[in-house]
């Protein structure tokens, strides 16, 4: 069976994912509030920016992964090939 390669991630990168998830949850909370659209939009933009920053740093740390598909699950300390 073909084993997928795991790429260990430093705590700094894991913290970015946690920030991304928190911003998405905050966005969902603001969407449900009256007049929360502007705050939800701001959280959404920050979440996407944080996600991009995370993947850019992963690809900078492991340049060989740029052309490969990677996935990350919250709670893991590694990214894995798709």
**Alpha carbons 2 and 53: distance in angstroms, whole number:** 30
Q: At 58, which helix (H) or strand (E)?
A: helix 37-61
Residue in this structure with the two tokens 């919250």, named with its chain if needed: 74
pLDDT at 2: 65
Tens-digit pLDDT profile for residues 30-64:
999 999 999 999 999 999 999 999 999 999 999 99
Q: Is 10 helix (H, G, I), strand (E, B) or coil?
A: coil
Contact predicate 9/58, CB 8 Å: yes
**Alpha carbons 28 and 40: distance in angstroms, whole number:** 7
Tens-digit pLDDT profile for residues 62-80:
999 988 889 999 889 999 9
């Amino acid at each position: 069976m073909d084993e997928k390669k795991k790429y260990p991630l430093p705590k700094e990168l894991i913290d970015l994912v946690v920030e991304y998830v928190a911003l998405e949850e905050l966005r969902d909370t603001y969407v449900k509030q009256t007049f929360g659209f502007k705050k939800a939009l701001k959280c959404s933009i920050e979440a996407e920016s944080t996600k991009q920053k995370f993947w850019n740093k992963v690809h900078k740390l492991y340049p060989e992964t740029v052309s490969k598909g990677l996935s990350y699950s919250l709670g893991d300390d590694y990214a894995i090939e798709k």
